[in-house]
A = this chain, B = another copy of it.
């Protein structure tokens, strides 16, 4: 029996509407996963995560390995029990974080040695270790450990990282996993269409349960991302899930869906929330701006989340200015609800064969939205 089953329900152009079943429950696709880096979606309890319509949560192997440690989480009953989230969980492989967050890394074919951001100790990560950690965490979907080239990088650098990613992919598949755990491969190749095609061609020969596109939304232009997306997803098997990692704005989501992507994750809805920035059906709202000081209207008149049906913009402005914890919580509740409403809208539009119009509408509202960087 497969650890994950994926059923097509509808298509509209390249856009796909489906349903995925895991041991810990079902999720509808296209799906947006809330990021729960350190075994918590920042500022929200699991019931609040559920309230937003979120069905899948992502945990970070890099962070959980350093603290509190995956063996500890295993002893305590696994990540689901540990963090109080009984629904599906996907864990990343730590690859992206090792290559982007950590200092003093040394990469060889064996793996990567890096300096912990917590205590400065040297930590080793290999394909085998990454899969072992994810097995201990007990997620429903594990990701292969990949070599992420920086952006921009030369073609030679990208090609070398891709080749290593393929060799590591085979090693990942050789490690024993829990029976309930699926494993996805990660297509690399940067912004070079021929390398992406080569990567997709190589990885789809391996028995992965799904495929991700890594190394996008890292600084390349939207046109470059669109080109790679359309080009690569065409080479992926239709019967398996496709995941665009770390993406993105609402406009990015509909771009991905329109190119056949089924799954997304991004810190933007929760990180921007903590920085006082809301995504709404009327575009971006930076709640600390003085214009909202006396605004009696809800954050988003079209939203039915707890924040929007309880509070005025004036209140949200106040708690943001007063640096109250509730500010991040209430805006995270809203932003995740908004993201999930975009996904739900996309699913309905695909079923009705109206995805193109829906995507154009979302892109016109959010076309200019740029990520806000963490301020602390």
User: Please, how many angstroms separate the alpha-carbon atoms of A294 and B75 in the complex?
Assistant: 8
Q: Does A330 contact B (CB under 8 A)?
A: yes
Closest chain B residue to A39, Cβ basis: B318
A324 and B42 contact, Cβ closer than 8 Å, known pairs A293-B68, A314-B68: yes
User: Please, how many angstroms separate the alpha-carbon atoms of A44 and B280 in the complex?
Assistant: 23
Are A40's CB and B72's CB within 8 A?
Answer: no
Are B326's CB and A328's CB within 8 A?
Answer: no
Are B43's CB and A315's CB within 8 A?
Answer: no
Segment of A76-84, A189-197, A201-209 in the binding face? A76-84
Are A68's CB and B318's CB within 8 A?
Answer: yes
A325 and B325 contact, Cβ closer than 8 Å, known pairs A68-B314, A76-B314: yes
**Residues in A163-211 with C-beta less than 8 Å from chain B:** none
- Chain B residues positioned under 8 Å from A306 (CB to CB): 45, 47
Q: With both chains docked as a complex, state the minimum distance between the C-beta of A56 and any C-beta of chain B, in angstroms.
A: 19
Q: Does A310 contact B (CB under 8 A)?
A: yes
- Chain B residues positioned under 8 Å from A83 (CB to CB): 315
- Chain B residues positioned under 8 Å from A293 (CB to CB): 68, 72
Count residues of chain A with CB under 8 A from any CB of chain B.
38
- The contact string, 1 if C-beta is below 8 Å from chain B, for chain A 295-338, is 01000000000100011101101110110111011100000000
User: Please, how many angstroms separate the alpha-carbon atoms of A293 and B326 in the complex?
Assistant: 27
User: Please, how many angstroms separate the alpha-carbon atoms of A294 and B82 in the complex?
Assistant: 11
Q: With both chains docked as a complex, state the minimum distance between the C-beta of A319 and any C-beta of chain B, in angstroms.
A: 6
A326 and B296 contact, Cβ closer than 8 Å, known pairs A68-B318, A76-B312, A319-B39: no
Which of B40, B311, B319, B321 is in CB contact (< 8 Å) with A324?
A: B40
- The contact string, 1 if C-beta is below 8 Å from chain B, for chain A 50-79, is 000000000000000001100010011100
Closest chain B residue to A315, Cβ basis: B82
